A = this chain, B = another copy of it.
């Protein structure tokens, strides 16, 4: 799905069921961090008009989702609080090369892979949870994550030739698969 190299194991869903509050809190943090990532990209490449317009849209959508998840937490009486994040984002970001335009390509592709994984996980939650409020919720969010993935990959192609981007995406997707499978210390949206 969306170029990901591994699908989520049934074991992840089982762990989520047993730690649902933790994962919902993590989800709120993920939406906030996705908005911040888009803002960082806008600021880093502020002379690129198309990128700035797309980041503006993504920021608005992620912050709307953040608000939706916070509302969901409120309705369930779960206090939103800071939480140890999974190592996933940090480990992916360590793969970003330091010189331009490789750095731009990598930052966009990493952001796109995180969106792809969120999308895949939302589908697992949509299809696997018993709670109607949650299955509806993840069904609704699913589509926008897929769209964001596509946007990030398309923007990466404005920094390097299509084939270069496709090859790098393959490499990063392989790394993402190792990272997401290897991390079981915490129960998180990307663990």
- Residues in chain A within 8 A of chain B (CB atoms): 28-29, 32, 35-36, 39, 42-43, 46-47, 49, 52-53, 56, 59-60, 63-64, 66-67, 70, 79-82
Residues of chain B within 8 A of A42, CB atoms compared: 32, 35, 63
**Nearest residue in B to A81 (C-beta to C-beta)?**
B47
User: Oligomeric state, in number of copies?
Assistant: 2
- Distance in angstroms from A127 CB to nearest chain B CB is 30
Give the distance in Å from the alpha carbon of A59 to the alpha carbon of B53 in the complex.
Answer: 13
Q: A59 to chain B: which residues have CB within 8 Å? A: 39, 59-60, 63
How far does the alpha carbon of A56 sit from the alpha carbon of B62 in the complex, in Å? Answer: 10
**Most chain B beta-carbon neighbours within 10 Å: one of A43, A46, A49:** A46
Chain A interface SS verdict (over half): helix
Given known contacts A47-B81, A59-B59, A52 and B39 CB-to-CB distance under 8 angstroms: no
A52 touches B36 (CB 8 A): no
A32–B49 alpha-carbon span in the complex (Å): 13
The CA of A32 and the CA of B35, in the complex, are separated in Å by 14
Residues of B contacting A66 with CB < 8 Å? 52, 56
Q: Give A42's nearest chain B residue, CB to CB.
A: B32
How far does the alpha carbon of A66 sit from the alpha carbon of B49 in the complex, in Å?
10
